[in-house]
Structure formats: C-alpha cells, structure tokens
Amino acid sequence: MTSPITTTRQGDVLIITSDNPPVNALGAAVRQGIQAGIQEAAGDDSIKAVVITCAGKTFFAGADITEFGKPMQEPSLPVLVDEIEALDKPVIAAVHGTALGGGCEVALASHYRIAVPSAKFGLPEVKLGILPGAGGTQRMPRVAGVEVALEMATKGDPISASQAQAAGLVDRLATEGNLVADAVAFGQEVIGKPVSRSSERPVTVDATVFEKFRAANAKRFRGMDAPNTIVDLIEQTAGKPYAEGVQAERMGFMKLIMGTQSAALRHIFFAERKAAKIDGIAEDIALRDIKRVGVIGAGTMGGGISMNFLTAGVPVTIVEMAQEALDRGTGVIRKNYEATAAKGRMTAEQVEGAMGLLTPTLDFDALGECDLIIEAVYENMDVKKDIFGKLDKIAKPGAILASNTSYLNIDEIAAATSRPQDVLGLHFFSPANVMKLLEIVRGAKTADDVLATAMAVSKKIRKVAVIAGVCYGFIGNRMLMPRQVEANKMLLEGATPEQIDKVHVAFGMPMGPFQMADLAGVDIGWHRDPNRIENIRDALAAEGRWGQKKSAGFYDYDEKRTPSNSPRVAELIAEWREKLNVPAHEITEEEIVVRPLYTMVNEGALILAEKMAQRASDIDVVWVYGYGWPPYRGGPMFWADTEGLKKIVEGLEKYGFEVAPLLREKAEKGEKFNK
C-alpha cells in the first residue's frame, strides 16, 4: 500500500506532504510516514530545514478517531510530536484548512508555524470527551498562554489564523494559494538559527486564573468530566517540567478515553455523520437545483426558517396573508440579524446582504418561481391541505413542496396535490435559525431525489438532519409524549414540578419538563376554551398561567424570570388529585428516571421496529440536537445500551409498562440498539 506521505526537496528544504483524504487524519500510516521523513532529515546533512504540510482540503484534523480502542501502532502521536520537536533543524508547519487536535499538536511541536489567513486552529478533543493527548495541554500554555490554552482545550472551538497569530501560536501568515512556497522561504530564512522548542518555554501564570475560569464556566461544564479534568491538569502542571506534565496528560487522557462520556461523545460524532446517509439511495443520485426558496408564513417559524437560507446566501420569497403580519415578520428577521451583528458575529454588510436576498410579498403566485417551498403556518390539517392544493396549481414542475408541521400526517397533506412525489416534511425546531436539528419526513410517495436534495440542503444551511417516517410526532415529539405523560401523572401521584425537574437537570438536561413547558408556553397546543378543563395543564392555561411570558405557569416568576414554587399550582394539583381520586405515594428519584426516560426508550424501540427511523443512532442525534439530551450521555438509545437493556425492561415492567417487542428481544439476546 502506498504511503499517504511523500517527501520532496526544494533546495535544502525537505517538504513532508500528507495526502490522506478526506481530512488527513493522523492514522498509523501517516504517523509512520512523517516519522520516516523526520528521520530522513536527521540523517541527511544536505537537508537544512523541514516543512510539514498537507494536500487536500485541510491540514491534519487530528488523530484518526476510528483507531480509538484498537491496538496502537507505533509511533504513537505523543512519541511522534516529541521526535518532530527534537530535530535539530528548523521544522515549519504549513497550515491550511483546520489544524485540529493532534494536527494542532503537530504544529505546536514544530519549531515555527505559518498559516494562510483562512486557516483555523483548534483542540476539539473535549467534544469527544477526552483531552489533547499529544502534548497539547503542555505546549499550548507555553506558546499561547494559559488563558488561550484553557479556552481552546476546554471548549474545543477553533480560532482563526489571525487570532492564532495574535496569541503567538502562528509566527507568520502566508498568502492564500502560496502556502508551501512561503513556508519554504520561511524555512530558508531560519536555517542556522537555534531552533525554538515550545516545550522548553516557561509557563507564566497568575494562579487566580484557574478559579476565575472555573467560576465563569461552572454551568457550562456541569456534569462533564473532560473540561474539568483539563482545567485541573493545566493548573497542576503549570510550572512543572514538560516531561512531568506530559506524563500527567497521558494519565488524564487514558482515564477519559476509557470513560462512558467519551464513548458517548464519539458515538454522537459518528452518529451525526451517519444520519446524513439515506439507506437505499445512491450517494451520487442527481439532486434538484435549489436556487430560490419560498416560505409561507412570516411568523416565528417562517422567519427563522427564512434566515437559514438568507444566511447561506439563498434568495427567499416570504408570503403572508396581511401586510401587517408581513411587516412584523420581516422586522423580526432584521432585528435578529442586527442583534447578531451587535455581538460582532456578523458585519453590517452581511446583514444588508442577507436582507437583500429577502422578497416579502402578499402575492401567493410569486411562489411559482421557487424551487423549494416550505409551508410554516399554524398546525391545522385543513389549512395545510388548502395551501398545498393551491401550491399544486402554481408551483413550477419539479419544485419541492415541504411542510414544517411538527406532528401532522405528511401523506395526507401530499394527497392534497397531484405531485405527492415532490412532497415531504421539513420539521425545523424553534428558534429555527438557531436549533441545529432538522427532521426530514419521508412521505410514502416522496421521491428519492427529493429526499436526497433535502439532505443536501440541510448541509448547506448547516443543520444536522435526520430522516423520519410519517407517524404522529415523527421521532422527537413522539418520544417526548410518553415523557410528558409520565411527568404529569407523577404530579398527580405526589411529586412536585421542582422535584421532577431537578432529577432531569441532575441527569444533564438543560431543564426539566415543567421548566420547558413554562419556557415554550403552557398554552402551546391548548384548545383555548377556558371552560373546558380536562387536566392540570388546561387548568393552568384557563387561569392565564401560560408560563414565563405571563410570569406564571408551573412556577411563579419574578421580573428577572427567576422561578419559584407556586402555592397556587400546588393547590391546583391537590384539587386534581382529589377530583381524579389518585392515591399519592412517595415518588423516588429512581421512579422519576425510569418512568419518563425508560418509556422514551421504549417508544424509540417502537419507532425503530416500525422503521420510522433508519437507525438507533439517528434517534440519539434527534435528542441531542433537538431536545437538550446531554451529549455526554450519547442520546436515549445509546444511554439505554449503557444502562443495559435488561435493566430497562425490568424498570418498565416494575411500573407496569408494556415493553416494546424489539426492546425485549434485544434484552433477551444481550444485544444493544447501537451495534
């Protein structure tokens, strides 16, 4: 097998080039090739300097994650980076694309770093539940300072080449498209000068930095092993010799990589990428061309959906029934963009650029120019069927017709047209311009190229998309229902909203079911008849307790929206308990985990058996990207696998739930949902 590494000479400079698509992952062959290149340089006096660079779209994007858990092939990355740094001839890392994880560590071990302005540097290991394990926690503080090292290693977000230069991580910026030549010239300039080894540099730090950093990020790092381990490690090794520091780094790395959290986060990394693959459809299927998008409805969802396309540079025609609603909707879009610009995440030109692509209109026929039309009006089947009937008459042949419904039957909507093959669901999550998840709902007659085009569009607008079948609530909302039902039942049986929410938050959710209801609005989905009170939620809605927006819902809220337990809600629950004659009992934490969460897993098993989801990992992606399931628990199906399906079955039976056949079968066979 040919090595992904080649070496070439330009005068007395040796160029080591990696060509290991798609992202130059530092797999065994790459490491062995680089090591051979360094040894070649060490052994040849005519070589005075070395440039390490990569072909393809990016510099090394890190260790090869697919090698984790497999027997290590020498040299390991820690050994290789130390060999690079030990060379007594200048080594220049020439960076384009994203120098991530082990790739950033190769750059740190090199004596100099040159990068094109579009390059990025990052230590994303923490997003895989591990830490930079090839010297990154020791060299980054020495090169860029402790603050930058803490930010980069604990949050995992990349920094730009100019930020890296400002931090001392990049020595020089190259001209775009001229990287290698500029790197060779840089190499020739430093030949003969003493090489600067970053591991020999001192770490200067004010010890209070760590306490301040912990305090500032306590909420963000809650429940996560890796970021807290990284802060401790950098603190404990600051001022220690490099050799001692990397030993502690190795220990920390091995402890984390063996942990469940890292297994969960690596599962989500690959699950997110697998979700984009549609079983039974060829990856090279011809896609439909989407040049202009139409959005029906300029409300919260319509506006958010439009922003995704405007931000991606796709022109949008947005339609409303009344001028006032149209103006309100386009006004909100501009306000949102200006808020983003005020935070420095967009320029004023970019705001005008996006708004310039928006065509607001009251003329429904204007949608005739669009290649993809997304209906985002309120949830009413007759209204949606009426709209799709009208769309069928004016939309151009081959246009994709999508509904943003959260629950309703896509096949029934498609049947309102003469072109059901062009109809599917595109279920965005609120706020649609922020939430990453997109459920692509495959109708019974949806054409393969329509589905594949929708998947490609989701990538263009930077969404994480999952294919769902037509069933009530699709994947996410369908699994949310048993959780809500059990949470409401436990209120009647003696638990308080706070008690239930606390267990969910301790589990790692950003909030519990009742805090979520108050945020989203207790009146969402309410029938609006204050005289028809069939449950606690109706009673709250009828009293105007619609949640945070009314400073009262399942909790009372002060002007700062700080929640407090509500005596009125406790009273209401007690009234309903009596009215429905529900015996109260002491509700344990175990019960609050089993009933809402095990029933979700059970519903997930039904969804898989009915083929409403392609694979268990898709369900995990839905919950992590759409419903705040903690990524370090890998999603409900992965979590069930770690709990053990036998335990899940026993828990469900203990509380009298009917166990899904697929779940029982897998438990009996000792199998898992995620292979």
Which of 5, 14, 23, 464 is the binder for ligand T1G (CB under 6 A)?
A: 23
In the block, tokens 């439909």 appear at 288
If one asks whether residue 128 binds ligand T1G (CB under 6 A), the answer comes out as: yes
If one asks whether residue 132 binds ligand T1G (CB under 6 A), the answer comes out as: yes
Distance, in Å, from the CA atom of 261 to the CA atom of 224, rounded to the nearest integer, reads 8
How near is the Cβ of 25 to ligand T1G at its closest, in Å? 4
Tokens matching residue 610: 């009915």
If one asks whether residue 227 binds ligand T1G (CB under 6 A), the answer comes out as: no
CB 318 within 8 A of CB 358: yes
Question: What Rg, from alpha-carbon coordinates, does the chain have?
Answer: 28
If one asks whether residue 652 binds ligand T1G (CB under 6 A), the answer comes out as: no
Which of 37, 54, 106, 125 is the binder for ligand T1G (CB under 6 A)?
A: 125
Cβ closer to ligand T1G: 128 or 457? 128
If one asks whether residue 460 binds ligand T1G (CB under 6 A), the answer comes out as: no
645: phi then psi, degrees, rounded to nearest 5: -65, -30
Binding mask of the shown chain, residues 263 to 292, with x at each position contacting ligand T1G by CB under 6 A: ----------x-------------------
Q: Which of these ranges, 7-15, 125-133, 201-209, 233-241, lies near ligand T1G under the rule CB under 6 A?
A: 125-133
Q: Which of these ranges, 124-132, 207-215, 344-352, 588-596, lies near ligand T1G under the rule CB under 6 A?
A: 124-132
Q: Is 603 a catalytic residue?
A: no
How near is the Cβ of 181 to ligand T1G at its closest, in Å? 25
Which of 98, 198, 229, 548 is the binder for ligand T1G (CB under 6 A)?
A: 98
Cβ closer to ligand T1G: 134 or 423? 134
Size of the site for ligand T1G (CB under 6 A): 23
Tokens matching residue 417: 């047209």
Indicate which residue of 74, 83, 85, 125 is catalytic.
Answer: 125
Residue 444: burial class (beta carbons within 10 Å; 0-12, 13-18, 19+): exposed
Instruction: Give 216-222 contacts, CB < 8 A, sequence gap 24+.
Output: 217/154, 220/155, 221/154, 222/508
If one asks whether residue 406 binds ligand T1G (CB under 6 A), the answer comes out as: no
Which of 47, 54, 64, 400 is the binder for ligand T1G (CB under 6 A)?
A: 64
Identify which of 180, 63, 86 has the alpha carbon closest to the alpha carbon of residue 132: 63
CB 44 within 8 A of CB 121: no
Indicate which residue of 105, 151, 235, 439 is catalytic.
Answer: 105
Query: Is beta strand 120-122 parallel, antiparallel or unpaired with respect to 172-173?
Result: unpaired
How near is the Cβ of 274 to ligand T1G at its closest, in Å? 7
If one asks whether residue 101 binds ligand T1G (CB under 6 A), the answer comes out as: yes
Which of 8, 39, 66, 564 is the binder for ligand T1G (CB under 6 A)?
A: 66
Identify which of 462, 21, 451 has the alpha carbon closest to the alpha carbon of residue 277: 451
If one asks whether residue 563 binds ligand T1G (CB under 6 A), the answer comes out as: no
How near is the Cβ of 463 to ligand T1G at its closest, in Å? 12
Instruction: Give 160-165 contacts, CB < 8 A, sequence gap 24+.
Output: 160/117, 160/119, 160/120, 161/95, 161/115, 161/116, 161/117, 161/118, 161/119, 161/120, 161/121, 162/117, 164/113, 164/115, 164/119, 164/121, 165/115
CB 239 within 8 A of CB 41: no
If one asks whether residue 424 binds ligand T1G (CB under 6 A), the answer comes out as: no
How near is the Cβ of 123 to ligand T1G at its closest, in Å? 7
- What residues from 3 to 22 belong to the interface with ligand T1G (CB under 6 A)? 22
Which residues touch 564 (CB under 8 Å, ≥6 apart)?
Answer: 555, 556, 557, 558
How near is the Cβ of 64 to ligand T1G at its closest, in Å? 4
DSSP SS3 for 513: helix
Which of 41, 47, 50, 63 is the binder for ligand T1G (CB under 6 A)?
A: 63
How near is the Cβ of 198 to ligand T1G at its closest, in Å? 15
Distance, in Å, from the CA atom of 136 to the CA atom of 121, rounded to the nearest integer, reads 12
Which of 90, 124, 145, 476 is the binder for ligand T1G (CB under 6 A)?
A: 124
If one asks whether residue 423 binds ligand T1G (CB under 6 A), the answer comes out as: no
Q: Is 40 a catalytic residue?
A: no
Residue 74: burial class (beta carbons within 10 Å; 0-12, 13-18, 19+): exposed
Residue ranges binding ligand T1G (CB under 6 A): 22-23, 25, 61-66, 77, 98, 100-102, 105, 124-125, 128, 132-134, 136, 273
Annotated catalytic sites, by residue? 105, 125
